[in-house]
Amino acid sequence: MYLITVCGNLLLILAVSSDSHLHTPMYFFLANLSFVDTCFTSTTVPKMLWNIQTHSKVIRYDGCITQMYFFLLFTGLGDFLLTVMAYDRFVAICHPLHYTVIMNPQLCGLLVLVSWIIIVSLFYCTSLGVYLSSAVTQSSHASAVASVMYTVVTPMLNPFIYSLRNRDIKRALKRIIGVPVS
């Protein structure tokens, strides 16, 4: 599942970056979301796979803090990118004649930059809340299942959800693979 996630997201990034027809705000945000999904999954899954292989659940404190930082960073960044993508679609649907003026490359870059600036600042605020609150006990099996669904399954499905029903992405992927485009 991890390999499918990484390969699917990287293939989507490659398709968007290599096809000039896909150099639009919607695909720019989609490529950024694919990058974030790859990074998000890569913050926890390699350690999880290592733990499964070695039958060890040990993580050093500094490793745990680092993993938590990047986990929260990419979680928030993904949420903000989805919000930006919703705004992009709103502008495209509600203001189609002004779309290219409103969603210019500078604004798209600014929206992505603001998204990054906001699971860095939110990380520090939420981490303070974690330290000030008490731990809640949960079933470890239910917690593990929820964690796998959130950290592995969702990022794995995103490239398929966003690309399989999109003829422009299919066309770009066919060009990359070398299949004749009709």
According to the model, what pLDDT value does residue 35 have?
Answer: 94
The stretches in the chain having pLDDT less than 70 are 119-151, 164, 182
Boundaries of every domain in the chain: 2-177
Query: What three-state secondary structure class fits 2?
Result: helix
Q: Residue ranges of the alpha helices (H) in the chain?
A: 2-18, 25-54, 61-94, 99-102, 105-117, 121-132, 140-148, 154-163, 167-177
Tens digit of each residue's pLDDT (9 = 90 or more) over 126-160: 555 555 554 554 556 655 666 666 667 777 777 77
Residue range 2-177 in CATH 2.60.120.10:
no
Residue 110, token pair as written in the block: 């600014």
Q: Model pTM? A: 0.75
Residues in the chain, how many?
Answer: 182
Residue 149, token pair as written in the block: 């669904």
Residue with tokens 């989805």: 82
